Structure 1
Amino acid sequence: MFKGASETLKIEDLIYQPVALIDPEQSPEVLRFNIREKQLAAMLWPSPDSSWNVVLASEFLKLEDRGKIGDLAVKGFPVPVDTPLAKVIDLIRSFPGQLGVLIDKMGFPLGVIEAGRMLSLLWEQMLHLECSVTTLMDTVNEAITMIDQQNVVVGWNKRAEELYRIPAHTIVGQEINRFFSSLVVTHVISKDVMKKKGVRNDYHQPIPGTHVLINASPIVYQDQVLGSVCSERDITETVSLHNELSKASSEVRQLKNEITKIHRPNDAFQKIVGHSKKLRDSISLAQRVANTNVAVLIRGESGTGKELFAEAIHNESSRRNKPFVVINCGAIPAALFESELFGYQSGAFTGADRKGRPGKFEIAHQGTIFLDEIGEMPLDLQVKLLRVLQNKRFYKVGGSDPIDVDVRVIAATHRDLEQMINDGLFREDLYYRINVVSLEIPPLRQRKEDIPELIYLFIREFCLQQNRDMVQIAPEVMTTLLNYPWPGNIRELRNVVERMVILAEDKMILQDHLPSSMKLKRFTAGEIASTESTLTDITDRTEKEIILQALEEAGGDKSKAAKRLGIPRSTLYYKMKKLDIKQ
């Protein structure tokens, strides 16, 4: 909060004091004596119409002996002592040529308010405020820009001069978009902020090689937007350091993993990459239950690595030297379910192998069976699976001899099993059988700090696979990857990195190498602009759309269109010529 003139100035600062009630018929000599003796600033006497007659002492002392004080009287309107300063200013504007008389609750005069004195004090306060704002702007580390309603620069601090190498005397008083064709500056700040929408931590690259975070707010007075102020924090060094640090961290982790493979061959969880708290919590729980026989239900979105966790749990357990068998429950046709899971005897059905065939459960004996996507299994098959899990015994198709089986069950799903139970789509007894320990795998968007490490790990993997030198990743690409929601999680990230490594030229991954669905997008004039074009192309295209829309709404009237756009008519003509808009 800033304490300005409206809070600093008090009515007492604006009035002439002391004042005294007088009889206007008193002789000039007596009045002069009272003025000098009491150091009076003004003299008053009431008027029949409830106003006051006021004479400033300085004016009275100019009178000759024969003059009358009544000739100098100026009308005075009453101002209660508790009147706010803003209201006092309104009253002075409402009674031109009159003086204000500050009165107490009993109606007794306390002082005289004169417009000239008030103007002088307010001007002094404005100069003090201007000096404070200038000092503040040049003290902060951020680049500060202030623009008015017409996008004309009215404030440009020293940090902005250093960041953009534009002297203040060159840019102040000029339209900002003559210096920057940035979509963020010319559209977000000039349009969104003018609509009282703030901008917070908006990443932007205003000039090549420079990265900033923008905060911008409208300057609002009594519901009227007077302009906006923009603060830009230079994060170029931070982005570069983060890029290098992430790369170095990935390389260190890779070396650590290679060393670990030599010294700790049984570290089953080393393939799970990441140091975020949510991921480490999941790994910690998995490690605690690994060397037990309890059933584990792994929950998480597609592509989060549920099978990787299941295999790690198996490899960390005492069953590590026995089979790890994966069953995709949603991919087995109902007709083949029993033969796939339990196997079949010789001649069990037409086309059956003469020697018969073991099922998944028989193969997994003394090992681990991983029931992937168990939420996709139809109800009638859930009954058959439950019976095997309960009895630990099954019959082959076409067989009459029971087969006992010892397996550790790990299941996985991306579905809401509890809701499926309520909807009658999943058996509650099977749910409790597989859900002794529930293990949540966080989606990639909730562990963004792991993304750089995964990216460099995949870059190294695919560079080795493609037999090419290590490629670098541009900071703006890393920013896009960090901000992307990753609906396909790690599987999607791995595919994207593989694509970028293949397409990268000159050992550098750029925005052009991203899939079109991931490229940075902006919403402007109801359309989405993609960075498949250059930023200048996007800006010109966007400005052209906005101007054409304004001209259409104004029926072709350029004056009305300029007013709608909040720019001078001359600027509209200039932009129409530049953008080849013929109207």
Structure 2
Amino acid sequence: METVEMVRPRPLASTLRGVLILAADGKELVASGIAEQREMATRIVSGWHEARRRQRVLFSVEGPDASPVVVVVLPEADVTVLVAMVREGRDALFEFVSTVDFASDILAHFLTNPFEALTVVDKAGMLRYMSPVHERFFGMKAGSGIGRHVTDVIENTHLHQVAESGKSEIGSLQEMRGVTRVVTRHPIMNARGDTVGAIGQVMFKGPEQLQAFSNELAKLKSEVAYYRRELKDLKTRGYGLDQIVGESLAMQRLKQQIIKVAPLDVPVLLTGESGTGKELAAHAIHKLSVRRDANLVMVNAAALPATLVESELFGYEAGSFTGAERKGRKGQIEQADQGSLFFDEVGDMPAEVQVKLLRVLQDGSFQRVGGNEPRHSNFRLISASNRNFEAMIDEGTFRLDLFYRIGAVVIRLPALRERLDDIPLLADLALRNFAERHGQQPKKMSAQAIEFLKAQSWPGNVRQLMHTVERAAIFSESDVITAADFGQIESAGAEPPMLMSARTYLNPERKQSQPAMGESVSVSSAVEQVEEQLIRTAMMQYDGNKKRVASSLGISRSYLYKRLGQMGLAN
């Protein structure tokens, strides 16, 4: 290459303060502006040698007045052009380049890093730059997309809309060539605040990174779901037992039995008089068991008609019989799979139903009506009854083998007369429930009313108590219910015949006097009282041997069992 003498070009714009052109061997060929100053030219050449060694296209040197001078390296075939620029006042780009000696490396990183690669469009949406990794992704030659509208190059892009609206889009999903990518789009403003274009930045390169992100998100969701289940279980453990109201010793024993039995996944038989809360106990056992996340299916065994028992319990296939649903239907046993099956009033189950249930309990296998495919249901059986199974087994009305299946664990629920101390809590619950249903403030029970309720025998147990208290709340004119308010129930003809008269309770001397003229005593009531006393005496005389008691009294054992059940002495 021939030697070129130093020439003086025309003056540059205010931001272009000098140009220095070097030959391939580093010899200075052309200098202008501040590059004409020998000291400044030396600094620029020295900086260029260091930049070339580090393969950088930007560097800065100290200017004549100690202000930073940014130098841009423009390599050509035979020469290198060094453009020295100085900005008046503060400029973020100049400060960045002048204070960070690896500024060009950072810019190259943003332009070539596959996770932060850039696509640049102008105000009109024309493509001005696309990172090499994007060009390879689309199978394009380098620079082949420049000058084309971005929608002709990149599918499903919104970059031209961002350039037009000036509104950013952060973390959007964009599908390109069958791959979903997460991108961020920003408008670019000039010094006057005008939008001049937009850049798109890819946050995740492709399916591998997106899948890793999705897996991490799924893991976090799983952990959140786990902790939600744990929180739900904690609430459920309290909620299931809290529904069983009572703090008496009898109820404390009952709750301890439920807590001990619930996790064991064995069949449970709940016994007790009608109205003692066997259904609440079944719910508590299910909620405290390992099956709490599955269904608790309720079956009223006494209400199962013999003609429909199979379709109700086992379900049926489509078209099995006239009126069947077109898609068939799951039976209650199939619905209880992985959960619990609650058989209420199991003692009233017809004999033919007992046989069919026994088959299922043996191995969990069954067939739908009209189907040949064997099915299996894994459920935990909870049964309840107010019947005397010993008497029914003796009479042959309940199968002994079925009793063994359903009664692996027997829990007896105490009658209300055995837990009179719980009456204040139950009465308060009844008043609060009544008030909530009717949008009222709950009434209170007076001490006299509580004592009146404790004086009753309650053959209908908790259910009868709740209804009685609600009736008193209806007829009471005050916010505090007294024993006299139960007299209002009597006057309205709503007094249950098994309750002691409130008038009698409020006038104790009447209980000791003989019936006045016009009053009558029920013959059947007197007979029952005498019969009860005879049975109690015989039970004590023969140490509870029911066979000898029945023989001595001249009654059948089944009738004795019935009367003992009515007297609360069945067990």
Structure 1 length-normalised TM: 0.45
Structure 2 length-normalised TM: 0.46
Greater RCO (CA < 8 Å, at least 6 residues apart): 1
Q: Which has the larger radius of gyration?
A: 2
